[in-house]
């Protein structure tokens, strides 16, 4: 499949990139390109301009800021995150999630920013133009109906990135830059849970950095994921757990799920279930139940919604027990 025609813009600095975003209203950002390039080939996007941000060196790398936490540039590759000694020791849940993304070659190219901003996926959408033309277009692109929830007006395409579930557990924030300036938002407020408008980002804004607070450094973390091919696939259900213990009791805990809703979501009620107590089979199972109730899988993906929800329950329980043993 060939690429559609577009004009490639290649800024070398963030200021130049922001300037270009201000000048062109219909720009598609490309970072590692591991998700965007196949989508362009499938004609899911036909933008007149593509903004290649890979040359912006100031957006690469991981930096520990004493007293504040860790700052990760949006262009930092998933391989760099997986191999960073202090991400592994301070934020193990992020390292665990990063190393399950796709395959080693894709992680060498794929960036953290691209993983956070990943487009939502659906079996009826991530197809070639020929396939979509013969089957009928849908709300997400060029149509007005949903094959997954007929009669509805909402797109339920599923968020299928791994690292955002881990980042939610760590209370991460993202920095966003655009012609109107720079702002910082909590990752939990970044996603909309709407499949065809997945994030609170305007057309002329980009994600520039991720901040991990010092407060969550050292939390024990586990990431578990269901996928078809163990060596390369997107998650069909994913669970991240981060918890802090003291004297055998849970001091703080968070669980987030991905690949079963149009956004990665924190599971509510986990802290109440675990805080101040030792982790037991019973309260880990209760957390699994809360996670399964938060999951709303539909027929957007391979495997049945029932199985994917059940695996969220099973993974959440196992991940809580495993995190408590660390
Ligand atoms: C075979 C295969 C398997 C895969 N398996 C997985 C998997 O298991 N888990 C998983 O999470 N992903 C998977 N992916 C998707 C992808 O490889 C990763 O999500 C990767 O991290 C995307 O990063 P990227 O830099 O390549 O993003 P790109 O492809 O460059 O961009 C992805 C999206 O993010 C936007 N974007 C990128 N950077 C920014 C930014 N800084 N600001 C604003 N918008 C931005 C782009 O416009 C685009 O919409 C898979 C892809 C393939 C082809
Ligand atoms: S959930 Fe519905 S509207 Fe969204 S991509 Fe799938 S079929 Fe299209």
| Cα separation, 19 vs 16, whole angstroms | 5
Determine the pLDDT at residue 45: 94
220 CB within 6 A, ligand 2: no
Q: pLDDT of 22-70, one tens digit each? A: 999 899 999 999 999 999 999 999 999 999 999 999 999 999 998 889 9
pLDDT grade for 125, boundaries at 50, 70 and 90: very high
Pocket test for ligand 1, best of 35, 52, 206 (most atoms within 8 A of CB): 35
The 3-state DSSP class for residue 289 equals: helix
147 CB within 6 A, ligand 2: yes
**Consecutive H or E run containing 244:** strand 237-246
Determine the pLDDT at residue 230: 87
Say which range, 226-230, 235-239, 318-322, has the weakest mean pLDDT: 226-230
pTM of the model: 0.98
**Residue 45's closest CA among 154, 168, 129, 165?**
129
Considering every ligand atom shown, identify the ligand nearest to the alpha carbon of residue 200 and give its number: 1
Q: Is the dihedral of CA 214, 188, 304, 43 positive or negative?
A: negative
What pairing do the DSSP bridges indicate for beta strands 49-52 and 7-9?
A: parallel
**Residue 235's closest CA among 81, 96, 132?**
96
> Which residues does ligand 1 sit against, CB inside 6 Å?
28-36, 38, 74, 78, 101-102, 106, 109-111, 113-115, 117-119, 161-162, 206-207, 232-235
Determine the pLDDT at residue 218: 96
Distance 101 CA to ligand 1 centre (A): 10
User: What's the rounded mean pLDDT across residues 290-302?
Assistant: 97
Determine the pLDDT at residue 326: 83
Q: Which two tokens stand for residue 13?
A: 């600095």
Determine the pLDDT at residue 231: 87
Considering every ligand atom shown, identify the ligand nearest to the alpha carbon of residue 123 and give its number: 2
Mean of per-residue pLDDT scores for the chain: 97
138 CB within 6 A, ligand 2: yes
Q: Whose CA is nearest to atom 37 of ligand 1?
A: 114
Q: pLDDT of 173-221, one tens digit each? A: 999 999 999 999 999 999 999 999 999 999 999 999 999 999 999 999 9
At residue 160, does pLDDT exceed 90? yes
Considering every ligand atom shown, identify the ligand nearest to the alpha carbon of residue 119 and give its number: 1
Determine the pLDDT at residue 25: 84
Q: Which two tokens stand for residue 99?
A: 């190393």
Distance 52 CA to ligand 1 centre (A): 13
Distance 260 CA to ligand 2 centre (A): 14
């Amino acid at each position: 499949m060939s690429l559609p025609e577009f004009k490639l813009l290649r800024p070398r600095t963030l200021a130049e990139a922001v300037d270009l975003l201000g000048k062109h209203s219909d720009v598609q950002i490309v970072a590692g390109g591991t998700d965007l390039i196949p989508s362009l080939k499938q004609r899911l996007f036909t933008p007149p301009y593509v903004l290649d941000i890979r040359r912006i060196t100031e957006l690469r790398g991981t930096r520990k800021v004493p007293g504040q936490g860790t700052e990760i540039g949006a262009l930092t590759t998933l391989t760099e995150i997986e191999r960073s000694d202090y991400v592994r020791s301070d934020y193990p849940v992020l390292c665990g999630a990063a190393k399950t993304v796709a395959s080693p070659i894709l992680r060498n190219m794929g960036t953290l920013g691209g993983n956070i901003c990943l487009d939502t996926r659906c079996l009826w959408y991530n197809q070639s133009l020929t396939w979509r033309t013969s089957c009928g277009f849908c709300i997400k692109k060029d149509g007005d109906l949903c094959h997954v929830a007929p009669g509805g007006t909402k797109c339920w395409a599923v968020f299928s990135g791994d690292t955002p579930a881990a980042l939610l557990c760590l209370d991460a924030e993202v920095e966003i830059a655009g012609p109107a300036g720079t702002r910082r938002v909590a990752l939990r407020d970044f996603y909309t849970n709407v499949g065809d408008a997945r994030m609170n980002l305007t057309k002329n804004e980009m994600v520039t950095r991720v901040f991990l607070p010092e407060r969550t450094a050292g939390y024990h973390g586990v990431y578990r994921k269901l996928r078809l091919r163990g060596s390369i696939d997107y998650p069909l259900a994913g669970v991240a757990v981060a918890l802090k213990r003291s004297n055998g009791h849970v001091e703080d805990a968070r669980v987030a799920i991905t690949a079963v809703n149009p956004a990665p979501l924190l599971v509510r009620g986990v802290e109440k279930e675990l805080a101040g107590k030792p982790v037991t089979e019973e309260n880990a199972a209760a957390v699994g139940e809360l996670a399964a109730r938060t999951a709303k899988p539909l027929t957007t993906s391979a495997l049945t919604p029932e199985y994917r929800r059940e695996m969220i329950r099973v993974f959440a329980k196992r991940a809580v027990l495993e995190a408590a043993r660390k």
